[in-house]
Structure formats: structure tokens, C-alpha cells
């Protein structure tokens, strides 16, 4: 039986990916409504070869809808998600607004699918860096119990949206041509450069992105004392985030067993060629579902510790795919 589905933010990077994945995964749809701001109303998007007209997002847009996939920004979800729930729909929200609400499940389907049943109309999609890290870390945590996680991220422009991706391309072209360029999305020089993540910095020196990784992982893993510290960096990559992960366990891990665990882990794919010094790269993960993992090795500086490298498509598994997997379980 088909579902009546609405997409909030249908014209953005994640909204576009949601449409593609709904079609690719043959999600059962009886009716599809694409919602965006007034400036996008009247434009069209393609779905299964048909032009779908964009409608202006309003509080009465959700009448008769079963499912709302929201990716239009936190302030928009704050305003409109309650209206969708009131109309009888379940909202899978891609923004950060509801993630830490104790009444709202925060779900990575490969990790805590059972939490979906606790929803009261809204289910939150975690931050992209959190999702990409959780997929390889959780099965290892189940086996040896993580005592402390140290994460360094290398985050693509896709994390800041479609306009940031376009701006990176335009700025790179301008630099190569020796021309000046005025940025409007990314605050720092971005072409051939990198910088600590541009989310809001707290008084403790951690930015919002780093704090999200800790708080969200604790909620998803149901481990209130999970120890994690992160350094998040924006790099001049179009799409797919990379993460260097160091894990200290309570018990002694075995590298070969860790590889076997990750080969069997849902949503994870081991990709490497040691002889060729070849490991997962953003180009490998772009447009792909699995989080790619490689370069597992013992941390020679600390007992019971290992290092690993992972790469995941921020728009896909880091946002749209995770949301649709939640919807499929619903």
C-alpha cells in the first residue's frame, strides 16, 4: 500500500537526494508533495520521469500526508513539524532542532532501530558526522566496549548545503584564473585551504559540530558516559566526509577480528589495498550507500587501542538515506 509523502526543503541538496532515493529504493508512494519556500513555488522537480510542481510550505500543507521528510533547516522544522504531526503525519527530521529532545528518538537504523517505536510523531536524523562515525564504531563497541573515542573529521562542502558546493567550485575556478572572489556562504578562504569547522564556537573551545558528535552518540548508543572528543575540520572536498578515529577499549581488541566484524557490519564496507597504499577516499564514497572503512591498526602509543579511517557520503548516508531507512522501518 502506497504512502502519502511530503518533502520539506525539496529543492535543497538533501531534498534532491531524498527524491532520488525514494525512486531508487522503490519506496511505496501513493502521493508525493514537494514543499519549499515561496521563492521556489511553481518550479518543478523530476520524480520517476514526471515533473512535480513545488508548492509553498504552509501550515496546512500536510493534510492527508502519512510521512514528512524534513530537510529545510532547524527553524523551519521548529515552526512546521508540529503542524505536520497535528495533521496525522510522522515527521523524519534531518535538522538538529529535535535531536536532543528527550521525547524524540534519534535513530541510526543499523544501531538503534528499536527506538523508532518510541516516537510521538517526530523522529530525528542525527548529524552527518555522527552517523558516519557510528556505523563502524558501534559494532566494535559491542564487542570490546569503547572506553574513549578521539575523532578528527575532514568534512566536505556538502555539509553546508548545495550553495556551499557551488561556491567551492566557483572560488576554485577563480583562484586558478587569478581572479578575485567574494564568498557569501563559507566564511573562510576555501579553495586550496582548510579550517576548523565553521559552526558556532562555545566558551569551552568546542564548536557545535564537535559537541553534536558527543551528545548524539551518547543518545544513540544509550551510553550517558560515553567518552568522545572531536576536532572537526572543513576541507575543500565537494562531497563525502572522512574521519580518522582512535578507539581505546576496556577489553583487548584484535585487529583481524575487528576487520571481520566490520566486514559483516550493516552499512559498512571494508575498502583497502595495503600493497598499493590504497584506502577509502571521498571520491570512492560519493553517491554510494555504505560507509567505507580501512587502515585498521594497533595504536602503538596506548594499550587496548586501535586506529581506523572511514569515509561516507554526507548527503546520502549522512542525511537522506538514513532518513529513508527510518521511513522504511516505519
Active site residue 152: no
* Nearest Cα residue to 296 out of 285, 306, 305, 282: 306
Catalytic residue among 119, 141, 197, 241: 241
Q: What is the DSSP string of 94-111?
A: -SSTTTT-TTS-B--TTT
The Cα 181–Cα 169 span in angstroms is 11
Q: The C-alpha cell of 169 is what?
A: 567550485
Place of cell 558556532: 200
The Cα 168–Cα 163 span in angstroms is 9
Contacts with 329 (C-beta within 8 Å, 6 or more apart), sequence order: 109, 113, 116
Partners of 201 in the β-ladder? 207
Catalytic residue among 34, 128, 232, 310: 128
By CB atoms closer than 10 A (0-12, 13-18, 19+), residue 258 is: buried
Q: What is the DSSP string of 248-296?
A: EESS---HHHHHHHHHHSTTEEE--BGGGTB---HHHHTT-SSEEEEEE
**Phi, psi for 31 (deg, rounded to 5):** -150, 140
The Cα 251–Cα 156 span in angstroms is 34
Active site residue 241: yes
The Cα 10–Cα 22 span in angstroms is 12
Please identify every residue annotated as catalytic. Answer: 128, 241
Amino acid at each position: 500500500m502506497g504512502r502519502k509523502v511530503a518533502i520539506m526543503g525539496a529543492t535543497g541538496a538533501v531534498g534532491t537526494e531524498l527524491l532520488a532515493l525514494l525512486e531508487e529504493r522503490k519506496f511505496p508512494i501513493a502521493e508525493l508533495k514537494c514543499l519549499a519556500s515561496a521563492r521556489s513555488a511553481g518550479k518543478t522537480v523530476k520524480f520517476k520521469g514526471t515533473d512535480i510542481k513545488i508548492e509553498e510550505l504552509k501550515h496546512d500543507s500536510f493534510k492527508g500526508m502519512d510521512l514528512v521528510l524534513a530537510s529545510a533547516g532547524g527553524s523551519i522544522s521548529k515552526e512546521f513539524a508540529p503542524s505536520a504531526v497535528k495533521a496525522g503525519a510522522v515527521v523524519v527530521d534531518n535538522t538538529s532542532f529535535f535531536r536532543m529532545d528527550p521525547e524524540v528518538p534519534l535513530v541510526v537504523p543499523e544501531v538503534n532501530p528499536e527506538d523508532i517505536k518510541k516516537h510521538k510523531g517526530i523522529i530525528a536524523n542525527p548529524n552527518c558526522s555522527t552517523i558516519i562515525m557510528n556505523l563502524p564504531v558501534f559494532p566494535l563497541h559491542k564487542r570490546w566496549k569503547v572506553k574513549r573515542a578521539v575523532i578528527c573529521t575532514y568534512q566536505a562542502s556538502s555539509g553546508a548545503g548545495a550553495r556551499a558546493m557551488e561556491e567551492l567550485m566557483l572560488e576554485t575556478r577563480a583562484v586558478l584564473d587569478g581572479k578575485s572572489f567574494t564568498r557569501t556562504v563559507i566564511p573562510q578562504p576555501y579553495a586550496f585551504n582548510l579550517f576548523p569547522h565553521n559552526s558556532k564556537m562555545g566558551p569551552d573551545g568546542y564548536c557545535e559540530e564537535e559537541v553534536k558528535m558527543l551528545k548524539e552518540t551518547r543518545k544513540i548508543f544509550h551510553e550517558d558516559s560515553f567518552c568522545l572528543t572531536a576536532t572537526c575540520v572543513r576541507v575543500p572536498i565537494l562531497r563525502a566526509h572522512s574521519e580518522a578515529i582512535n578507539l581505546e577499549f576496556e577489553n583487548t581488541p584484535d585487529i583481524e577480528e575487528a576487520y571481520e566484524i566490520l566486514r559483516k557490519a550493516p552499512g559498512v564496507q571494508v575498502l583497502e589495498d595495503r600493497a598499493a597504499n590504497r584506502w577509502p577516499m571521498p571520491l570512492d564514497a560519493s553517491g554510494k550507500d555504505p560507509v567505507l572503512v580501512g587502515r585498521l591498526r594497533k595504536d602503538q602509543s596506548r594499550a587496548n587501542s586501535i586506529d581506523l579511517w572511514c569515509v561516507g557520503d554526507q548527503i546520502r548516508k549522512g542525511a537522506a538515506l538514513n532518513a529513508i531507512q527510518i521511513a522504511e522501518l516505519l
